[in-house]
Amino acid sequence: MRGSPRILGIVLAGGEGKRLSPLTQDRAKPAVPFGGNYRLVDFVLSNLVNAEIRQIAVLTQYKSHSLDRHITTTWRMSSLLGNYITPVPAQQRLGPRWFTGSADAIFQSLNLIHDARPEIVVVFGADHVYRMDPAQMIDQHLQTGAGVTVAGLRVPRRDADQFGVIDATAEGKVKSFLEKPSDPPGLPDSPEESFASMGNYVFTTEALLDALRADAEDDSSVHDMGGSIMPMLADKGEAWVYDFGTNKVPGATERDHGYWRDVGTMDSYFDAHMDLRSVSPIFNLYNDRWPIYTLPPQLPPAKFVLGGRAEDSMVSAGVIVAGGTVRGSVVSPGVRVDGASYVEDSVLMDGVHIGEGAVVRRAILDKNVVVPPFARIGVDHDADRERYHVSAGGVTVLGKGARAIVD
């Protein structure tokens, strides 16, 4: 609209995601598949695009080929209107070195800001599962006159030591930003809750540029948005918090309002998938008033033959369940489940083949995994630990292209 500020979106998508290995052995964390059709990066890009932020640079670094390909083939905007979503790999503009932190990634990419000449820069992470209307956060940012506004998620105070914690006044002005404090501060209106940082920021461009330049000159800095930039602006009195719980997304229900998952571990990634399966899902992918976009594969509909069936599951296009049974699972495109096999509480990615008589329980099978006839996965954790990766929560994980072992 006329009079609206010029906004540039920057998505930080260079994360290695070591805790999601083996899913990240061959791809960057934001490129990890999720929910059958999607990649993790699709959630932040959908939130920004739905809020009419349509000039977006995605900063990439670690094993970025599949991520770059997904963005360039899926996220095509109208150039006639000046819109774009583009991956930007580490360019080494300041010398032969990679990004040393999230703040350094933006500092090494200042040409993007200089070229776009925005008044507001929105900096979001790329590896969380949630819905959010960033426009509401931007409105608060403009009303307060803040240099930076950070999105805060209310979490139980006893669990807040696992996050970057925002200590703020009742009005929302940030007093300090604490990285995984042993004694997290409570909220003025709820002493047993704390504000955990979601890693989503709205900056006034001048404040961001000044902070990045000062940080780059500080040899002792870790050059991180949460660890360096936020404390600096909080100390200057220019930081405010935005309560994510106040965000109203069109089409959201009371059950999935305020949903946010940091899928940084294998168990949280698995749990986020299990959140999708119920009749009234905790996270509702079927909200067409705030859609999550991606480019679906060109495949025929799913097919169930020879008595094959799926219960309490999400089944994607191209799947053939030929006599097997699938329960409580998320099944990605092109999966085949053969006769007398049984899959329960599992995540099957693209092209997985479950052979005749095989059993798969509480497992994550990456793309093109082959489970031979009569193999057992997730049945004997002691045996699985000798062969595969088993998470702390007991989820068995096979990496991309693996072949399960038959006793």
Residue at 272 is within a domain = no
> Are residues 358 and 258 both part of a single domain?
no
Of 228, 248, 267, which closes a domain?
267
> Are residues 127 and 45 both part of a single domain?
yes
> Are residues 122 and 22 both part of a single domain?
yes
pLDDT digits (tens, 9 = 90+) for 27-45: 999 999 999 999 999 999 9
| Span of 22-26, 205-209, 238-242, 315-319 with lowest mean pLDDT | 22-26
Considering only CA atoms, which of 248, 244, 261 is closest in space to residue 172?
Answer: 244
Residue at 275 is within a domain = no
Percentage, residues of the chain above pLDDT 90: 86
> Are residues 237 and 326 both part of a single domain?
no
Q: For the chain, give the longest Cα–Cα distance.
A: 68
- Average pLDDT value for residue range 270-280: 92
Residue at 276 is within a domain = no
Q: Is 164 annotated as a binding residue?
A: yes
Write phi, then psi, for 193 (nearest 5 degrees).
-120, 155
Distance between CA atoms of 120 and 147, rounded to whole angstroms?
Answer: 10
Residue at 287 is within a domain = no
What pLDDT shows up at residue 77? Answer: 92
Distance between CA atoms of 340 and 101, rounded to whole angstroms?
Answer: 50
What pLDDT shows up at residue 42? Answer: 98
- Average pLDDT value for residue range 78-86: 92
The chain-wide mean pLDDT, for the chain, equals 94
Percentage, residues of the chain above pLDDT 70: 98
pTM of the shown model: 0.95
Residue at 286 is within a domain = no
How many helices (H) and strands (E) are present in the chain, helices listed first? 9, 29
| Dihedral angle, C-alpha 269, 271, 273, 279, nearest 10 ° | -160
Residue at 17 is within a domain = yes
> Are residues 187 and 72 both part of a single domain?
yes
Residue at 195 is within a domain = yes
> Are residues 83 and 227 both part of a single domain?
yes
Q: How far is CA 197 from the centre of its chain?
A: 14
Q: 115: Cβ–Cβ under 8 A, 6 or more apart, which residues?
A: none
For the chain, the domain total comes to: 2
Q: Is residue 2 predicted with pLDDT exceeding 60? A: no
Residue at 263 is within a domain = yes
Q: Write the DSSP assignment of 151-213 as a string of letters.
A: EEEEEEGGGGGGSEEEEE-TT-BEEEEEES-SSPPPBTTBTTEEEEEEEEEEEEHHHHHHHHH
Q: Is residue 171 predicted with pLDDT exceeding 60? A: yes
> Are residues 135 and 200 both part of a single domain?
yes
What pLDDT shows up at residue 95? Answer: 66
Q: Is 399 annotated as a binding residue?
A: no
- CATH number of 346's domain: 2.160.10.10
Tokens of 227: 């660890």
What pLDDT shows up at residue 1? Answer: 41
> Are residues 310 and 255 both part of a single domain?
no
Considering only CA atoms, which of 144, 126, 128, 130 is closest in space to residue 75?
Answer: 126
> Are residues 67 and 151 both part of a single domain?
yes
> Are residues 68 and 138 both part of a single domain?
yes
- CATH number of 34's domain: 3.90.550.10
Q: Is residue 3 predicted with pLDDT exceeding 70? A: no
Residue 177 belongs to domain spanning: 7-267
> Are residues 260 and 111 both part of a single domain?
yes
Q: Is residue 116 predicted with pLDDT exceeding 90? A: yes
- Average pLDDT value for residue range 117-139: 97
> Are residues 127 and 219 both part of a single domain?
yes
